[in-house]
Amino acid sequence: MRFFSTLRRGLLPLLLATSLGRLAAQPTPLPCLLLPLLPAERVQAAQLIVEAEVLDEQGEWDAKHQHIFTRQRLRVFRVLKGALPDTAALPLLLEGGQVGLARQELTSTLRALPVGQQGLFFLVPAPWPGVGPAYAAYASSQGVITYDLAQGTAAEPARAYPTWAAARQQTEVLSGQVTQLLRANPRLAAAASPTPPAPTQRTLAPSITAFSPAQATAGTGMVLTIRGSGFGSSRGSGGVDFRNADDGGATTTRALARDYLSWTDTQIQVQVPSLASNGHPAGTGPVTVTASDGTAATTATSLTIIYALANVDNTASDVADRPNHVATNATGGITFHFSPNFRSNAAAGAAWQRALTQWRCASGINWELGADATANTIASDKNNVIALDDGTLPARVLGRTTSYYQGCYNAQGEVVFYVSEIDQQFATSLPFQFGPALAGVGQYDFESVAVHELGHAQQLSHLIRPGAIMHYGVAAGANLRTLDPVSDVAGGRLVLRTRSFRNRGCGGVAMLPAPLTALAAATAPGLVFSTRAECFVMGFVLERSAGLDTTAAAGGWQVVATAAAGQASGQYALTDPQQQAGMHYYRLGLRRPGGSTDYAAPILLSTDALAEVQVFPNPLTGNQLQLSYPAAASGDLVLRFYDDLGRYHRGQRVTVQAGPNILTLDATGLRPGFYLLRLTDDQGSRTVKFIRL
């Protein structure tokens, strides 16, 4: 044993040199801005290396209530380096996660691993203050090698292993420490020697004859239909595996249970996910169907993923939501702030602003740069900060974006997630070319990195699509600064047109399409609005609805006025030349180059100057109570139901726009009788009465 340990130590410099040589010889596109970490370096940096299985997960705030972490307990089977302080469950802490309806997601960072996931964990004491004792993965996502027990393989962001045994053996050699076996691992043993099904249990091997469509989008609800035979009458433990867009297809990611719409022996229908197993998006490549007995078939041609929209996984349920942006500033959008250390690098600031302008003038997202932040802090503090690393980025990370999400309940009782804050942080110790010159050999183009990270802020996920900004990897010497109109722009615009430019019932005021900076009701029926730094707009159109249901085709939006863009003052007014009695919705459309139109959220206008709070129908016979509410300003409205004895029954918080609002309230469960609906906003409280029959 002593000789073997000595041999291992002797091999370490040789393996390190070999690894360095291989790394230098390979083109190195970085998986989501990660510089590949050498196995020898990782082993040397880790204080504790274990082979373990994830037991559970729990979200928690730090002491200052600024960062969310996920605490996972590990069942340890083997110790490959260091000494285990306790043979009970080992605490692992990861950045990001969910507490209640608050959620934080960080790119280029290890996500919470699914319960039951096994692998090798390269650990150091958790470096974050105010979190309690725990371990963290060294270099975050590069500090875990995950095992795929079904396939018998192992993988990490920068490399894949033909077997999990190869990953373990490499680590044992580099460690130079005799492995300590703590307990048996029956799942791994069973996977290593699978029992073949009995002859009576065997079915025909799966065969795929066709799939459609050939091109798809991920995370949008698009359905992939796979036809063939031998899939089995039900999914069981089988599934559909897509190429993993986060690592360029080196591994696969499996659709989750919620993604399957139907499964028969001859046809499978599954939604193409952007949030599949281990949180990865589906990417371009062949698709594999694995039957419940483990037999599999792979498509002869590739499924092409054009773009992928970010989804938020609500850990409190089995439902994912496509999040929206909300307006958090006075100009209908989001204001970013340079930190002091980022402001000190003028070239970096100029490159980042060019990246922002690209997104603003290609997708219409309402972003602006405001006054500088007072600190370099990346935290949940209602400030959207752009900073350079102050020692908190994981090792080998070029940059990352943190999206802070907040969930709320809409009138239908559904959870809606919106982006409440965005922070970005970039490394300082790597060879960046800040521009405007192009990156040369051995340099990483900062503007390319900034455009990519702002794509994550736009709520886009990774692709396997060379030439697209959201392609999973950035290589040294590569310059990729221009958005792909078919992919990046189309995906970003879909986020805005179906989410961020709409009122989703709670969470905040809808974002205004850029270049709008203000939108309000005119004295005569119509709208007044202003713009700034006009781009990506040809003109404006005012439309009136025929009814209060703005989503139904029968709503019948009618054009009543138009205006060309280009007013030097940036001030506009459009009025309805034919006033209609009663209440009507009006909406402003921005006509984009190419013929499409983006709409701001509709505004309800009334010709009745005495409009007041009303509920209808009253008496109420069904379960949907309508509330007409004229708001003095945009903001939150708190609704509380009381019976005639003053007993509280339920409440909710909704978002209202300045002017008249028609809100739908759920009255399910209210027994017949008299009720009081108390409404509270920034102006005070008022009460209306209604009868439930």
Does pLDDT of 425 surpass 50? Answer: yes
The average pLDDT across 270-296 equals 96
DSSP 8-state secondary structure symbol assigned to residue 485: I
Phi, psi of 241 (to 5 degrees): -110, 130
Whole-number Å distance between alpha carbons of 270 and 240:
8
Question: pLDDT per residue over 39-78, tens digit each?
Answer: 999 999 999 999 999 999 999 999 999 999 999 999 999 9
- Give the residue with greater pLDDT, 50 vs 662: 50
Could you tell me if 387 and 467 lie in one domain? yes
Question: pLDDT per residue over 487-527, tens digit each?
Answer: 999 999 999 999 999 988 888 889 999 999 999 888 778 99
Does pLDDT of 27 surpass 90? Answer: no
The answer to whether residue 139 sits within a structural domain is yes
Could you tell me if 549 and 588 lie in one domain? yes
**Distance between alpha carbon 585 and the CA centroid of its chain, in Å?**
32
Single-letter code of the amino acid located at 670 = L
Whole-number Å distance between alpha carbons of 331 and 531:
9
Element (H, E) at 354: helix 346-363
Total number of domains in the chain: 5
Could you tell me if 275 and 298 lie in one domain? yes
Token representation of residue 17? 């040199």
% of the chain surpassing 70 pLDDT = 92
The answer to whether residue 446 sits within a structural domain is yes
Looking at every residue in the chain, the average pLDDT score rounds to: 90
Whole-number Å distance between alpha carbons of 187 and 398:
37
Whole-number Å distance between alpha carbons of 511 and 326:
5
Phi, psi of 537 (to 5 degrees): -150, 135
CATH of the domain at 673: 2.60.40.2550
Could you tell me if 586 and 669 lie in one domain? no
Could you tell me if 375 and 440 lie in one domain? yes
Single-letter code of the amino acid located at 121 = F
Could you tell me if 236 and 136 lie in one domain? no
The answer to whether residue 506 sits within a structural domain is no
Could you tell me if 587 and 658 lie in one domain? no
Single-letter code of the amino acid located at 2 = R
Rg of the chain, C-alpha, whole Å: 28
The answer to whether residue 199 sits within a structural domain is no
Single-letter code of the amino acid located at 497 = R
CATH of the domain at 108: 2.40.50.120
Could you tell me if 601 and 620 lie in one domain? no
The answer to whether residue 510 sits within a structural domain is no
Contact 469, 451 (CB under 8 A): yes
Pick the last residue of a domain from 552, 581, 606.
606
Pick the last residue of a domain from 556, 582, 606.
606
Residue 436, preceding bond cis, omega within 30 degrees?
yes
Pick the last residue of a domain from 456, 471, 499.
499
For residue 562, the model assigns a pLDDT of 98
Whole-number Å distance between alpha carbons of 447 and 50:
39
Could you tell me if 158 and 125 lie in one domain? yes
CATH of the domain at 439: 3.40.390.10
The answer to whether residue 13 sits within a structural domain is no
Could you tell me if 177 and 37 lie in one domain? yes
Question: pLDDT per residue over 233-262, tens digit each?
Answer: 999 999 999 999 999 999 999 999 999 999
The answer to whether residue 215 sits within a structural domain is yes
Helix (H/G/I), strand (E/B), else coil: 42: helix
Could you tell me if 45 and 143 lie in one domain? yes
Question: pLDDT per residue over 133-190, tens digit each?
Answer: 999 999 999 999 999 998 899 999 989 999 999 999 999 999 999 999 999 999 999 9
Number of neighbours of residue 547 by Cβ within 10 angstroms: 12
Could you tell me if 137 and 280 lie in one domain? no
The answer to whether residue 505 sits within a structural domain is no
Single-letter code of the amino acid located at 521 = A
Domain of 257 in residue numbering reads as 207-309
